């Protein structure tokens, strides 16, 4: 008897409506989610369980052999990757709010967008976990126990990929290559000096953004003027990722980039951006599910002893 696969293709894909396969903590998915909200396009969100490797399951690899999120589906049409999805939305929904920067707009803004889109967000994220000296006060869900779990999973990912390559021969080549790429990435990231250089490149890109925001002045909400563009989406999603990683003090708060700070705080409060964030309940659930049991035992022991001390004090 053949074992039932752990993950099965969801049933939501039979009609012609839009389905977005994504993960609530992914930077690339957040960009697409924000664009869909901004353009007011109806879609169904399907959360992929990356903590249990659903993105490397056979049904997902059939959708995107690279095993990466996000993926958009409309009937038989499959669009993988945030850049291609954002282009697809611009081209196929011409009557919805346009988000593309117009070519006549400032070349510096175009260059800034290109630099932002080339930044390796996954590498920056993992680097901040490997080199905790670089961060101050990471926010949920990237609290200490969760970072520990993510790092542990990341350490074994190339072995798991090689296992999936054997299990799913049709995707073997791409999964093997992914495993090799991952090994090289981990090797480079082991050096704190390499990571600090990467942060310097990032700082330069943010300094360019600060210069553009200083030029556009306080009366403009968005970086290119009165309307939101894909440049704002790339920039604010990056700032948000850096903020949850605990890197904001290094780059823009405490007077380092005051325009960027104002811009980020203003946009972070906006409704469409808030729609892209996980709910408090799912944050708590993620933290709990990704906290190693040794920590949980510690928390339970702490709560129990506080209860005893509390009740003893109350009796007095
Ligand atoms: N170039 C892709 C990158 C997507 C990407 O790296 N997605 C992450 C989620 S944030 C992912 O799927 N990581 C899993 C992996 O690479 O194995 C895009 O723009 O969508």
Which residue, judged by its Cα, is nearest atom 16 of ligand 1?
A: 68
Best mutation site among 21, 30, 61, 69 for ligand 1 pocket (most ligand atoms within 8 Å of CB):
69
Residues in the chain: 316
CA 188 to chain centre: 21
Give Cα 53 distance to the centre of its chain. Answer: 16
Residue 161 CA to ligand 1 center (angstroms) comes to 15
Tell me if 66 sits within 8 A of 9, measured CB to CB. no
The minimum-distance atom of ligand 1 relative to the CA of 68 is 12
Taken in order 13, 18, 24, 27, the sign of the CA dihedral is positive
Which sequence spans correspond to the domains of the chain? 1-100, 107-276
**Per-residue pLDDT tens digits for 232-243:** 999 999 999 999
Q: Which atom of ligand 1 is nearest to the CA of 80?
A: 20
pLDDT digits over 150-200, tens only?
A: 999 999 999 999 999 999 999 999 999 999 999 999 999 999 999 999 999
User: Which residues are registered as beta bridge partners of 22?
Assistant: 47
The answer to whether residues 221 and 270 touch, using CB atoms and an 8 Å cutoff, is no
Rounding to the nearest 10 degrees, give the CA dihedral for residues 58, 59, 62, 67: -70
Cα 192 from Cα 133, distance rounded (Å): 10
CATH architecture, range 107-276: Up-down Bundle (1.20)
Range of weakest confidence among 41-50, 96-105, 294-303: 294-303
Distance CA 39, CA 251 (A): 30
303: pLDDT strictly greater than 80:
no
Report the separation in Å between the CA atom of 79 and the middle of ligand 1, taken as the mean of its atom positions: 13
Tell which CATH architecture fits domain 1-100: 3-Layer(aba) Sandwich (3.40)
Per-residue model confidence as pLDDT tens digits over 70-93: 999 999 999 999 999 999 999 999
Q: Picking from 15-29, 121-135, 254-268, 283-297, which range would have the lowest pLDDT averaged per residue?
A: 283-297
Please confirm whether the linkage preceding 123 is cis (ω < 30° from 0): no
Which ligand 1 atom sits closest to the C-alpha of 157?
Answer: 17
Q: Is the pLDDT of residue 257 over 90?
A: yes
Q: Whose CA is nearest to atom 19 of ligand 1?
A: 82
Compute the distance from residue 48 Cα to the ligand 1 centre, in Å.
12
* pLDDT above 70 (res 58): yes
Distance, CA of 257 to CA of 26 (rounded, Å): 25
Which residue puts its alpha carbon closest to atom 10 of ligand 1?
26
Distance in Å, CA 131 to ligand 1 centroid? 22
Residues above pLDDT 70, as percent of the chain: 90
Question: Ligand 1, atom 20: nearest CA belongs to which residue?
Answer: 81
Spatial CA neighbour of 55 closest among 46, 44, 66, 45: 66
Residue 121 CA, ligand 1 centroid: distance in Å: 9
Q: Around 207, how many Cα atoms within 13 Å sit in the side-chain half-sphere?
A: 7
Report the SS3 class of residue 46. strand
Ligand 1 pocket by C-beta < 6 Å: which residues? 26-28, 55, 67-70, 81-83, 122
Ligand 1 centroid to Cα of residue 62, in Å, is 16
- How far CA 180 is from CA of 57, 170, 186, 307, in Å, comes to 19, 18, 10, 50
Q: In what order do the strands lie in the sheet with 44-47?
A: 44-47, 18-22, 71-74, 77-80
Cα 70 to middle of ligand 1, angstroms: 7
The DSSP bridge partners found for residue 79 are: 72
Ligand 1 center from residue 120 Cα (angstroms):
10
237 C-alpha to center of ligand 1: Å? 14
Name the residue of 63, 122, 126, 175 whose CB sits within 8 Å of the most ligand 1 atoms, as the mutation to test its pocket. 122
The answer on pLDDT for 54 being more than 60 is yes
């Amino acid at each position: 008897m053949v074992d039932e696969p752990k993950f099965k293709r969801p049933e939501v894909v039979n009609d012609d409506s839009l389905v977005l396969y994504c993960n609530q903590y992914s930077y690339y998915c957040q960009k697409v989610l924000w664009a869909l909200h901004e353009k007011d396009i109806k879609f169904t969100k399907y959360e992929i369980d990356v903590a249990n490797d659903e993105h490397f399951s056979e049904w997902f690899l059939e959708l995107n052999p690279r095993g990466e999120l996000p993926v958009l589906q409309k009937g038989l049409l499959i669009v993988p990757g945030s850049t291609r999805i954002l282009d697809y939305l611009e081209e196929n929904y011409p009557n919805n709010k346009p988000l593309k920067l117009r070519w006549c707009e400032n070349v510096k803004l175009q260059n800034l967008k290109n630099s932002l889109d080339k930044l390796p967000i996954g590498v920056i994220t993992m680097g901040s976990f490997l080199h905790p000296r670089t961060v101050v006060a990471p926010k949920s869900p990237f609290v200490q126990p969760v970072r520990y779990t993510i790092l542990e999973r990341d350490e074994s990912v190339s072995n798991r990929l090689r296992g999936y390559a054997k299990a799913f021969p049709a995707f073997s080549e791409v999964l093997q290559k992914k495993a090799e790429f991952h090994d090289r990435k981990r090797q480079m990231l082991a050096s704190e000096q390499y990571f600090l250089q990467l942060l310097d490149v990032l700082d330069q890109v943010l300094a360019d953004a600060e210069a553009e925001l200083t030029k556009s002045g306080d009366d403009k909400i968005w970086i290119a003027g009165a309307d939101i563009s894909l440049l704002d989406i790339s920039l604010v999603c990056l700032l948000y990722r850096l903020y949850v990683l605990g890197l904001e003090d290094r780059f823009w708060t405490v007077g380092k980039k005051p325009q960027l700070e104002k811009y980020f705080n203003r946009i972070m409060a906006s409704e469409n951006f808030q729609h892209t964030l996980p709910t408090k309940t799912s944050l708590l659930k993620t933290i709990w599910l990704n906290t190693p049991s040794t920590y949980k035992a510690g928390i339970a022991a702490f709560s129990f002893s506080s209860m005893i001390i509390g009740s003893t004090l109350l009796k007095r």
